[in-house]
Structure 1
Amino acid sequence: MLGRGTTVRATRQGDAVCAALAEIDAFTSAQDLHAHLRDMGQAVGLTTVYRHLQVLADRGEVDVLRRDDGETLYRRCATDNHHHHLVCRHCGRTVEVEGPEIEAWTDRVAAAAGFTDVAHTLEIYGTCAGCAAAAPPS
């Protein structure tokens, strides 16, 4: 049994979801991952993709972002350590960064407000060097 009662058996479909995530370096939606699997000839239902992504998220094996429009995006973690992300808003390229300064600031802010057992996520959105170089001059 995993977080929030979510269980999943080891299956060919689950293996296919994990393999597809390993091939994609950017954050991706369940729908886009499903389309990628279909394009690769894998018969995996969209509900199965969602279920496996949720289990991987519960286990801490994927990073999860929520876009401004509410869509959830997933990406295979490159590290087991707590980290943050730089995300290109054009191509989706993602760089994992550690931020000891952010951790210290978070601890100070939480303590000043009387909070304990604090968790956080931080994503910094911008334009990567490749997209900036490809953009027409303004």
Structure 2
Amino acid sequence: MPGRTLRQTKQKDAVLKALHQCDDFISAQDLHRQLLDSGLSIGLATVYRQLNSLADAGQADTLRLNGSQLFRICVDDHHHHHLVCEHCGRTIEIEPPDEQWLRKTAAEHGFTLHTHTVELFGLCPECQKA
């Protein structure tokens, strides 16, 4: 449930601090490796649990890229969408299609819209050059 208050623990604080230091989306495995490299003793399952808890509370964004679940800290609490590089993971927040278009598209197919997620995947300019 977005916006709910989370119980603070040493592990949650460490995961949250490490996530704040990431500019782009990161996998639980890569964040876990960073935490271990910093000297913190924490299990991978704990990192997954804490990241998913942050995402459930609306404090972290999550998306799937190439079969991996990735996470990023939410810097603000407004609904937003992403343009994601499939190669390097670079992520840019974008403006979504307007609500009227979303509802019209859903209605054309007999759906009632409750929520939506828009993630656009492609190659960033640097990865296109490579």
- Sort the TM-score into its range (normalised by shorter chain): 0.7 to 0.9
Distance in structure 2 (CA, Å) of the matches to 1:127 and 1:112: 31
Give the structure-2-normalised TM-score. Answer: 0.85
Distance in structure 2 (CA, Å) of the matches to 1:8 and 1:59: 7
Distance in structure 1 (CA, Å) of the matches to 2:12 and 2:107: 41
Deviations 1:25-54 (A, max 9, x none): 121111111011111112121121111111
Distance in structure 2 (CA, Å) of the matches to 1:126 and 1:100: 18
Could you say which residue in structure 1 is the equivalent of 2:128?
132
Residue 53, structure 1, aligned to residue 48, structure 2: no
The residue correspondences of 1:1-138 to structure 2 (distance < 5 A) are 9-69=7-67, 71-101=68-98, 103-133=99-129, 135=130
> Does the CA contact (< 8 Å) of 2:84 and 2:119 recur in 1?
yes
Paired AA for residue 93 in structure 1 = R
Offset at residue 117 of structure 1 (A): 4.4
Instruction: Percent identity, please.
Output: 52
**Structure 2: gaps (5+ residues):** none
Count of residue correspondences: 128
SS in 2 for 1:17: helix
**Structure 1: gaps (5+ residues):** none
Distance in structure 1 (CA, Å) of the matches to 2:115 and 2:74: 17
Offset at residue 74 of structure 1 (A): 0.9
Give the structure-1-normalised TM-score. Answer: 0.80
Distance in structure 1 (CA, Å) of the matches to 2:83 and 2:41: 33
Q: Which 4+ residue blocks in structure 1 deviate beyond 4 angstroms?
A: none
SS in 2 for 1:74: strand
> Does the CA contact (< 8 Å) of 2:80 and 2:95 recur in 1?
yes
